[in-house]
């Protein structure tokens, strides 16, 4: 195999390694923190807090109604117990009874509204919890698939790294140094295969001499603009 061909083969190995490692990084991030589960958990927590708030409001409303009912019961015992005979006091008790009843009606209406709000909060909580469970189950399935993909990629990376190590002794030291330098400065792409008169990486027009050198098994052609190594496709 010619020197340019060896460099191109090394480039292809490295591109596959880059892609596999990038995908592994994505999988590791997805497995460690899933935005869908976090969002569903946040919605469930918010629904739980709202349900707790409405439950407290309902208990307070029920307590107010019970207290008002007790006031009415006390008023009725005094009014009809026979201990009060003064007409003015009896009239005051009757007026008080009417006022207490009106206020009880308002409290009972508020209690009903609070009960309806609590039932809505409970329904929202149940829906949020179901959504959280469904999301967790779906993500668990996705994670299983990603875990399997992760295993395949780890095996692929190990094989590619082994192939890369085996190929390095075949590349001349100065060419390997140039290749590594270009990999670092040209976004990982040091060698490109050309089939026309343009550099496929930067789009620069190649001279006839450059195109001819790129087909040589012994000479190294480079793009005059981006500096990448050119090989014939």
**pLDDT mean across residues, the chain:** 93
The two structure tokens encoding residue 228: 């990448």
Instruction: Sketch the domain layout of the chain as residue ranges.
Output: 1-30+172-233, 34-162
Please check whether the two domains, 1-30+172-233 and 34-162, share a CATH topology: yes
How sure is the predictor about 30, in pLDDT bands with cuts at 50, 70 and 90?
Answer: confident
How sure is the predictor about 47, in pLDDT bands with cuts at 50, 70 and 90?
Answer: very high
Share of the chain above pLDDT 70, in %: 100
Domain 34-162 CATH (choose: 1.10.3470, 1.20.1440, 1.10.287, 3.30.2420)? 1.10.287
With a cut of 90, say whether residue 85 has pLDDT above it.
Answer: no
Q: How many CB atoms lie within 10 A of CB 74?
A: 11
Report, in angstroms and rounded to the nearest whole number, the Rg of the chain calculated over CA atoms: 40
How sure is the predictor about 72, in pLDDT bands with cuts at 50, 70 and 90?
Answer: very high
The pTM assigned to this predicted structure is 0.60
d(CA 50, CA 48): 5
Q: Give tens-digit pLDDT for 211-231.
A: 888 888 888 999 999 999 999
With a cut of 80, say whether residue 1 has pLDDT above it.
Answer: no
DSSP H helix total and E strand total for the chain:
5, 3
With a cut of 90, say whether residue 158 has pLDDT above it.
Answer: yes
Q: Give tens-digit pLDDT for 131-143.
A: 999 999 998 888 9
User: Domain 1-30+172-233 classified CATH 1.10.287.1490?
Assistant: yes
Looking at residues 8-25, what average pLDDT do you find? Answer: 97
């Amino acid at each position: 195999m010619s020197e340019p061909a060896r460099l191109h083969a090394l480039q292809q190995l490295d591109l596959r390694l880059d892609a596999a490692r990038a995908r592994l990084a994505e999988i590791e991030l997805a497995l460690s923190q899933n935005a869908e589960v976090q969002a569903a958990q946040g919605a469930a927590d918010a629904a739980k807090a709202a349900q707790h708030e409405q439950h407290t409001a309902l208990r307070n409303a029920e307590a107010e109604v019970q207290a008002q009912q007790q006031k009415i019961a006390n008023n009725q015992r005094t009014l009809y117990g026979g201990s009060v005979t003064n007409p003015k006091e009896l009239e005051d008790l009757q007026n008080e009874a009417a006022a207490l009843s009106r206020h009880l009606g308002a409290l009972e209406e508020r209690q009903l509204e609070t009960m309806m709000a609590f039932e809505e909060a409970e329904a929202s909580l149940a829906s949020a919890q179901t959504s959280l469970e469904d999301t967790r189950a779906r993500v668990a399935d996705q994670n299983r698939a990603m875990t399997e993909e992760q295993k395949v990629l780890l095996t692929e990376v190990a094989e590619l790294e082994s192939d890369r190590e085996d190929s390095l002794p075949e590349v001349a030291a100065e060419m390997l140094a140039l290749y590594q330098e270009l990999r670092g400065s040209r976004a990982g792409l040091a060698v490109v295969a050309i089939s026309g008169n343009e550099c496929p990486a930067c789009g620069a027009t190649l001279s006839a001499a450059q195109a001819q050198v790129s087909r040589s098994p012994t000479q190294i052609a480079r793009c005059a603009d981006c500096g990448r190594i050119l090989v014939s496709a």
